[in-house]
Chains A and B, each alone.
Chain A
Amino acid sequence: MNPRPASVWRAFLLFGALVTFCADAHFQLLYTPEAAVQESQQLPLALVFSHPFNNGHTMDMGEPEEFYVVSQRGSEAERRTTDLLQYLEPVTWAGVDTRASAFIAHPPRSVTRSLGDYTYVLRPSPYYEAQEDKYIQQITKTVVNIGGLPGSWDAPVGLPVEIIPLDKPYANWVGGVFRAVVTANGQPVPHAEVEIEFLNHEPQIEQRRFHPEGKVIAPQGSFITLSIRADAQGQIVIGLPKAGWWGICALDLDEGLQHQGKELSVDAVLWIKATEMTP
């Protein structure tokens, strides 16, 4: 047998690399280390657009359009919205083989002074995805609780696309399930396309990078990004087999939108955290 020419091998390797790239999903991170904290403290945040399972290609973020937190102490209390744009600090974030523009934030302790639920909301600027010749905007929520007093974790913020939790996003045991409803313009989206990824490389905010070592290894590409469909009522149910943050992304919920003459895919992202039962 004649050996394959080098060009064939190069093409083969390139194809493999592309398959690897396409096998995982873009996820807007809105990260803070803990989802449920015992008492009031300053909560650091990292806003990174990346591929969280395999510490893959990290993408440049533009200036966010909106970044705020909605807090509520108790289910009957008033909701309070605090704008956080002033606390954004542009940084260069390091992925395993890429560096990209991202943001970190250290809002003062006064922002998280009270007990209750804090729903952080990020509306990033649209990102141009050259491979698909379209823009992507992932409107992202992360819910944190302080002190165990719940607030508005199950209430819509009122975003155009939104994943509404049916279980507390910050209080999930490993081995349990998490339920939510995918909505667009306030209505459930039947059979919505949903992707799920485990935050396999823990962000290290002060080093502006992901931890180089992943926590788990995917046995095959299908396990990097889990793809599911919502049911006819727009509800999803997700198992949580491993402690840590899990990203849920409902894709392309607001069809027909354009940005700078290109298609704009508006996605809804929600981050939830699973916690190990320890003695």
Chain B
Amino acid sequence: MNPKLAALVFSWVGLAGLAYAHNPICDCYDNGDNTITCEGGFSDGGTAVGVPMRVLDGAGKVLIEGVMSDRSDFTFTKPEVDYRVEFEGGEGHIVQIDGRDIEE
């Protein structure tokens, strides 16, 4: 299985035991200009506006922090080190995406 898909599936499975009705969804792509854009939302179509976003290195150090825009997206400069992106849609609503799985 594609590692990114595995991460998403893991995220959903992890949520199965919680009371939340709607699953968090996040996907990122490389803009080809040294920036990355992530889009997010929830499985009921709900907006991700204001959802905290974090970019962390391999040791878990936060490199970049921000929030989803009013278009439910978040663009950041691509780190020069290995990284992962976290979409933090509330307790138990975290989606993690490995930077190595982000493609143009």
Contacts and interface: CB of A to CB of B under 8 A. Distances in A.
Instruction: State whether these chains interact.
Output: yes
Interface of A: 38-40, 73-77, 113-115, 147-151
Contact of A148 (B39, B43, B71): B43
Contacts, number: 47
B25 A148 contact: yes
A73 B39 CA distance: 9
Chain B CB within 10 Å, residue with most, of A39, A74, A76? A74
A77 B47 contact: yes
Contact residues on B (Cβ < 8 Å of other chain), bracket: 10 to 19
Contact of B25 (A76, A77, A113, A149): A149
Interface of B: 2, 4-5, 8, 23, 25, 27, 29, 39, 41-48, 71-72
A115 B41 contact: yes
A150 B44 contact: yes
Contacts of A147: 25, 27
Contacts of B44: 75, 150
A150 B27 contact: no
A74 B46 contact: yes
A73 B23 CA distance: 15
Given A73-B39, A73-B41, A77-B47, A40 B29 contact: yes
A151 B41 CA distance: 10
A149 B29 contact: no
A187 to B, nearest CB: 26
Given A77-B71, A149-B42, 15 more contacts: A38-B2, A38-B8, A39-B27, A40-B27, A73-B39, A73-B41, A73-B72, A74-B46, A77-B47, A114-B39, A147-B25, A149-B25, A149-B41, A149-B43, A149-B45
